[in-house]
Structure 1
Amino acid sequence: MKHHAPEQLQAIAKVDRNYQCRAISRSERLERWADLLEQSPDRRLATLHQTEYQPPSVRAAMRSDGSPISVAFEDPILRTAGLENDSYGEARRFFELTDNQLHRVICYCHFGATVSASTAAYHLRKLIARQRMFARLREMFGR
């Protein structure tokens, strides 16, 4: 996948900078990402090496062709909703994940050089379930 600046794309396609991004909730974004991964469950995806040991600026810029994050970035719906690239930092921002949460989905130390799309989706689904559980608890206790 080639990455281009909007100015470069202007020469190739008509880019509307005023196009309104469709706002979708965090859980909808995570669900969409998991759904995309589950479409090709046996696909081997690249992991990112030792994310937990990188300085924040290096970690934010980390990316790899064919990673679980790349699967999300290939989706026009997620891009329209505001996913700007397939870097670790952008995935963290867009999906509103902590370093620890994203680490469990993407890091080499858990899976080796590659992870199956179904395994990455499984870890996203665990995050979604946990989010729902905490939302229910907040409702129960009025917070």
Structure 2
Amino acid sequence: MEHRPLSELSSVADLKIPEDVKVPVLTKRERLDRWVELLEREPDRIVRTLDEIEWKPKAQRLALRADGSALTVAYSDPVLRHAGLRSDKFGDAVDFFQISEHDAHIVLCSCHGGEAMRADEAARRVRGIRSPSLWALYFGWFR
């Protein structure tokens, strides 16, 4: 029998965690770290962005999604789904990852990445919202 960490198993099997098993609640940092890890597994993968988030009415903005987006990568992970990620929609991601719409916009919007970007670029952006003091290092921006 080969032993592997749980983080590796989700890439080879759809893990179902029994309801009677208590899973530790993930902190905001752990959720974002997991998202980074998932994106970095396939750094050359092309992920789609969400189209012009900032111009949509709030209800439409919260419902935004795109097949093959960085949010799709997160939602395909059984660990994040079990932890409470409800879908790959913008609003569900903002709630689950406990990030502002502004931060989610920086990671996911087409105005920052074109129609698509590499997964490692999306991971770098998630890392930036995870550690806001690193924004200047990652983007040359000050908040």
Fold agreement, TM-score > 0.5: yes
Equivalent-residue separation in structure 1 for 2:133 and 2:38 (angstroms): 20
1:112 is matched with: 114
> Aligned runs of 1:26-65 on 2, under 5 Å?
26-65=28-67
Provide Cα deviations, 1:46-88, integer angstroms capped at 9, x if missing partner: 1000001111100000001100000000000000100011000
With normalisation by structure 2, the TM-score equals 0.76
Match of 1:103 among 96, 102, 105: 105
Going from structure 1 to structure 2, the CA distance change for 1:54 and 1:81 (only over 3 Å counts) comes to same
Going from structure 1 to structure 2, the CA distance change for 1:113 and 1:91 (only over 3 Å counts) comes to same
Query: Which has the higher Rg, Structure 1 or Structure 2?
Result: 1
1:135 is matched with: none
Q: Does the 8 A contact of 1:22 with 1:80 survive in 2?
A: no
Matched positions, count: 119
2:8 is matched with: none
Q: Does the 8 A contact of 1:92 with 1:99 survive in 2?
A: yes
Q: For residue 88 of structure 1, what is the amino acid of its counterpart?
A: F
SS at structure 2 position matched to 1:45: strand
Q: For residue 113 of structure 2, what is the amino acid of its counterpart?
A: F
Equivalent-residue separation in structure 2 for 1:128 and 1:24 (angstroms): 14
Equivalent-residue separation in structure 2 for 1:17 and 1:54 (angstroms): 38
Q: Percent identity?
A: 38
Equivalent-residue separation in structure 2 for 1:89 and 1:109 (angstroms): 18
4+ residue segments displaced more than 3 Å: 16-22
Shift of 1:21: 5.8
Equivalent-residue separation in structure 1 for 2:61 and 2:80 (angstroms): 22
1:71 is matched with: 73
SS at structure 1 position matched to 2:123: helix
Match of 1:126 among 128, 138, 141: 128
With normalisation by structure 1, the TM-score equals 0.76
Structure 2 gap segments, 5+ residues each? 1-17, 135-143
Shift of 1:129: 2.0
Provide Cα deviations, 1:80-100, integer angstroms capped at 9, x if missing partner: 100011000000000011111
Shift of 1:45: 0.5
1:12 is matched with: none
